[in-house]
Structure 1
Amino acid sequence: MSYFAGWSRSSYFTAVFQALFVTFLWSTSWVLIKIGLEDMPALTFAGLRYGLAFVCLLPFFWRSKGRTELRQLNQSGWLRLMALGLIYYALTQGAQFVGLAYLPAVTVNVMLGFTAVLVALLGMGVLGERPSVWQWIGIIVALAGGLLYFYPVQIPQAQIVGFVAAAVGVLANAGAAVLGRSVNREAQLRPLTVTTVSMGIGSALLLIVGLGTQGLPALNWQSWAIIGWLAVVNTAFAFTLWNVSLRTLSAMDSSIINNTMAVQIPVLAVIFLGERLNGREVTGLVVAIVGTLLVQLGRKRKSMS
C-alpha cells in the first residue's frame, strides 16, 4: 500500500489509463504518417505537423506566463533551447519522416528503439552517468535483438536513403534526450515552455527546408485531415495529457508505459499497413524490446538507489 502513498488508488489507475491512451495515440501517428507520405513530401509534412501543433500550444504557453520565463532566460539558455529545437524536431522528426518514406514502419521502429542504448552510452561522457549492471545487460540484449531482426544484412538500393535517415534520427534522438535531460536538470523552465519554444524553432526550420527543397503540393482533404489530427490530437492534446499523467506516475511507471509503443507500432503496422514479419524478425523485435526496457529500468533503479 505504501506504493500508493500520497494519492488514491483510483487516481493512480486513471493516470495509467491516460498514459496508455497517449502512447496509443503516438503509435497511431506512425500509421497516419505512412498514409500521408503517399501524397506529401516528408520534410514539408513534418514541418506542417509540428508547426500547427506549436500554434495549438501557444495559447496555453501565454496563459501560463511563459513570456515571463523567457524574459529571464540568458543567452546560454536560449542557445540550449535552439539546439534542442534543431536536434529533436528538425533533425530527429525530419529524419523519422524521411525514414518512414522509404522503409517499413516496423523497421524504423526497431532502429529508433536503440535510442535508449545510445543515451546510456552518451550519458557516460556528457552527463557523467555510468551505466548500471542491468543497463549493460540491456545494451547487449538489445544489440543482439537488433542483429537478429536485420540478419542477414541486405539493404535494397531503394531503401539506402531510408536507413541513413533512420540512423541520423537515432543519433539525433539520443542527443536530444541527453540535452533535454541536461536542460531539465537545471529546472529553470517548465516542460511546457521547453516544448513550445523548441517545437516552434524546430518546426520553422523543417518548414523552411521542406518548402525550399520539396515544395508544397496540392493537398486534398485527407492530407489536411491527417496533418490536423496529428498536430492537434496526437501532439498538442497528447502532450498535455501525458504531462497530466506524470503528476501521479513515477519515472519508472512512465518509462514502462512509454515502452509499450515498441509493441503497439508493429501490431498497427501489420493490421493497417499490411506489413509482414517472419518468425526471426518477431523474435528479434521482442529481444530488442526486452533489452531496451532493461536499459531504461536500469537507469531508473540506479537513480532511486
Structure 2
Amino acid sequence: MHVGIIGVGLMGHGIARNILMRGGFTLSFLDHPGNQPTDDLTSLGASACATPAEIAAIADVVILCVTGSPQVEAIITGENGIASTIKSGAVVVDCSTALPDSTLRMAEIVRQAGGDYIDAPMTRTAKHAHEGTLNLLAGGSAEVLDKVRPVLAAFTEKVDHVGLLGHGHRLKLLHNYVSVGFMTLLAEAAAQAADAEVDPQVFVDVLANGGGASVALDRLAPYIIDQDREGLPFFVSNALKDINYYRDMSKASGARTTVADGVSEALAAPVNDDQGNAFVPELVRLFRKEPDS
C-alpha cells in the first residue's frame, strides 16, 4: 500500500520513519513549515507533496497527525483537501486528538467521496513514536481497521478497537483528561513543596511509596528532581486544548465539568502568560509563587 501522512511533527515524524523503515511502505508526506526536519525521510525514499489533495490522489491510506479538529476539517474539506481527490476505497486514519462530533462529520464527507475513515488517536509520547511502540484507540468498522492494520503495525505496540466511529476520539479525551488532570494537580503540589523548600527527592519518594505513585509521577519526577523536561515533550497549550475539548464533549452530553473547569483554569494561566510552548513538566516551575519584592 502507498501511505500518505499529513503532520510530520513531534509524533508524526516517528510514525513516518517507522512506516518507511519497519513497514517498508511507499510514503508521501505533506510539505509543511510545521514539520520536523524531513531529510532523513526523503533519504529513505519518501516524497513531499504540496497539498492534501495531491496525497489523497495517490495514497491507499492517509494518516492525519495534526493538532485538532480545525486542522483536520481544513485538511479534509478545504481547497485542495482530501475529499476532493481521495481514491475509491482509500482509508483516512485520523491519529489526531479531535472532537467526536467533528470526527463523525468528517467521516461522512470522506465516505461520500468514496473513502473510509478510522479515528485512531495515540497514547504514549514522541519517544514511543520514534521507537514504533505507540498505542492506538481505534474507532470505526472492524473490517476497515483490519484493512489498515499492516500499516499501523509499523509504528504501534498495540491497537485497540474501542468501538464505533468517534469512540477513539471520545476515549482519547477521557484518557487525556485523567492524564493531564493528574499531572496538573501533581505540578501544583510540587510547586507548593518547592516553595516550602521540601527536598524534591523526598517529595517524589513519599508519593512513589504511597497513594501518589502513578504514571504522572514517573513523567514529572525528572523535572521535579533535576529540571529535566524531556520526559514529556508535550506543550502546555496542547494540554489546555485537550482539556477544553473534553469540556466541550462533556457539556454537549450534559455531563458535569467541575474538576475539568479547574484544570482548564490552571492551564490557561501560563498559556495567557505566553508560556504555552513550555512542556507540561515545566508547570512545576510555572505554578510556583512569585518571589517577594
Please tell me the TM-score bracket, short chain as reference. under 0.3
What TM-score, normalized to structure 1?
Answer: 0.27
Between the two structures, name the one with larger relative contact order (CA 8 Å, sep ≥ 6).
1
What TM-score, normalized to structure 2?
Answer: 0.28
- Bigger helix share: 1
